[in-house]
Chain A
Amino acid sequence: MFTIQDYVVPGTLEEAYRILTAKRNNTILGGCGFLRLGSQRIGTAIDLTNLNLNFIEEYDQVIEIGAMTTFRDLETSPLLKGYFNGLLPQAVKHIVGVQLRNIVTVGGTVYSRYGFSDLITALLSLEAEVELFKTGRVSLENFLENASEKDILVKVIIPKTAKKAVFNSMRNSQSDYAIVNVAVSKEGDRWLLVAGARPHRAKIARKASLFLANSSLSSEDIEHAANLAISELTFGSNMRASQKYRETVCKVLLKRAIGEVLACK
Chain B
Amino acid sequence: MQIKVTINEKMMELEAPYDEFLMDTLRRYGFLSVKKGCNTGSCGLCTVWLDGKPVLSCSVLSVRVNGRNITTIEGVQKEAREFADFLVKEGADQCGFCSPGFIMTVLAMKRELSNPTEEDIIHYLTGNLCRCTGYQGQLRAIKKYLGVV
Contacts and interface: CB of A to CB of B under 8 A. Distances in A.
Interface of A: 2-7, 29, 31-33, 36-37, 42, 45, 47, 49, 72, 93, 96-100, 102-103, 174-175
B63 A7 contact: yes
A173 to B, nearest CB: 10
Contact of A100 (B41, B61, B64, B109): B41
Given A103-B55, A174-B126, A47 B41 contact: no
Contact of B126 (A2, A36, A72, A175): A175
A102 B47 CA distance: 11
B44 interface: yes
Contact of B64 (A5, A49, A97): A49
A37 B126 contact: no
A139 B131 CA distance: 44
Interface of B: 1, 17-19, 21, 40-42, 44, 47, 50, 53-56, 59-61, 63-64, 105, 108-109, 123-128
Contacts, number: 75
Q: Please list the 3 inter-chain residue pairs (A to B) with the smallest Cβ-Cβ separation, ordered nearest first.
A: A97-B127, A4-B19, A4-B18
Contact of B59 (A45, A47, A49, A103): A103
Contacts of B59: 31-33, 36, 100, 103
Nearest to B108: A98
12 contacts: A31-B59, A32-B61, A33-B41, A36-B59, A45-B61, A72-B53, A97-B126, A98-B124, A98-B126, A99-B55, A103-B56, A175-B42
Contacts of B18: 4-7, 45
A136 to B, nearest CB: 29
B61 A97 contact: no
Q: Is the interface of A mostly helix, strand, loop or mixed?
A: mixed
Q: Which of A3, A4, A93, A100 has the most CB of B within 10 A?
A: A100
Contact of B41 (A42, A93, A96): A96
Contact of A93 (B1, B17, B123, B125): B123
B19 A3 contact: yes
B60 A97 contact: no
A103 B63 contact: no
A73 B100 CA distance: 25
B61 A99 contact: no
B64 A99 contact: no
A97 B40 CA distance: 13
A41 to B, nearest CB: 9
B126 A99 contact: no
Q: Which of A4, A47, A102 has the most CB of B within 10 A?
A: A102
Given A97-B128, A100-B41, 10 more contacts: A4-B18, A6-B18, A7-B1, A7-B18, A32-B60, A33-B59, A37-B40, A72-B53, A96-B42, A97-B105
